[in-house]
Amino acid sequence: MSLPLAQPPAQDHLHGPVTGKVRRIAAQRTCVRRINAPALLAFWHLASLDAPTVAVVWSLAFAWSADVPLPIWAPMLLALMAWSVYVGDRLLDARTGLRALELHPLHERHYFHWRHRRIFVPLAAVAALVAVRIILVNMPNRAVAPNTLLGAAAFAYFSGVHAHRKLPRPFTKELLVGIIFTSGCMLPALLRMRASGAGGAPLGIFLVPVIFFAVLAWLNCHAIAQWESGRAVCASGASVATLGCSLAVAGVILACVFWVHDLRSAALLVAGSASALLLALLDREQPRLTPLALRAAADLVLLTPVLLLALARLPR
C-alpha cells in the first residue's frame, strides 16, 4: 500500500508550473555566492579602526575646505578618542547581548571584540590615557571648553544607550550618533578658524558641508540599522537607496551653487555626494554581499575625501 502524498496529484499537476518556477528561483538564489570582505578590510572593521579612519579623513577635509592647517595632535586625539569609545561601546554591547541574545542581537564585530577583550581593554585604556595627555599638554585653553562639552554629550549619549533609556522624540540613536560624530570631526577646523581670525571660508559656507556630512553620517548609521534588522524600508517608506540618491542629488545641487563662492566646499560636497551614491548602490547590491562585507563597505565609502586630500598635496 502506497503512502498518502502530502499534496494530491491533481493539485500538484494544477500548481506544478508555478511550484517549479518558485523552486528554480529559490535554487538560483541559493547558488549565488555572496561576496565576502577581503581580510584587510574585514580586520579594519572588526578592530574598530573604521570609525577613527572616517573621523580623521573628514576632520582633515573640513580643515582643507576651510583653508586652515591642523596641528598633528588634533587628528591623533580624534582617532584615539573615537577608537577607545567604539571599542568600549562594542564590548558593552557584547556583554549585554551575551546575557540576553534574544533582546540584544550581536554581530561579528561584537563577537570579535569579546573574544579578544583581553587585548582590546588594555589597548583602549592606553589610547584613552594618551588622549588625556594630549589634551593636558597640547590642547590650547580656548579649545578645552568646547571639547569638554562635546565629550560630556558623547558620554551622556552612550551611558543612556547602555542604560537602555528611551531617547526623547524626535531623536533617534542614528541621528544622535551622526550629530556627535560630525561635531567631533568639524570642531578642530572650527576652532582653528576662530583662532586665526582670517583666511579660509566664511562660517556660513563652512557649515554647509558640515551639515551635509551630518546627514550623510546619519544615513550611514540608518543604512546599517536597516540592513542588520532585515528591513527593506524605513518607517517613512523610503529605502536606503532612495535616501542615498536624494542626498547625492542635493549635494550636487549645493556644489553647483557654491562652486563660484568657494571651490573647496563645493568639491567636498561632491565627495560627500559620491559617498551617498555609493551607500545607495550598496543597498541595491546587499543580497550579493555578506553582512560583514556590507557593514565594512558602509564605512569604506565614506572615505571619498581622501582623493581631495591627495590632490591637494600634489605639486602645483
Domain count, the chain: 1
- Is position 112 within any domain? yes
pLDDT of residue 283: 95
- Is position 23 within any domain? no
pLDDT of residue 275: 98
Q: What is the pTM of this model?
A: 0.83
pLDDT of residue 8: 36
- Is position 50 within any domain? yes
- Is position 71 within any domain? yes
- Is position 6 within any domain? no
pLDDT of residue 196: 72
pLDDT of residue 22: 41
Mean pLDDT, each 10-residue run in order, the chain (316 residues): 36 40 43 82 96 96 93 93 93 87 81 96 96 90 78 69 62 85 92 71 86 96 90 66 96 92 92 97 94 95 95 70
- Alpha carbon distance, N-terminus to C-terminus of the chain: 89
pLDDT of residue 24: 44
Domain interval for residue 136: 41-312
- Is position 162 within any domain? yes
- Is position 147 within any domain? yes
pLDDT of residue 42: 96
- Is position 104 within any domain? yes
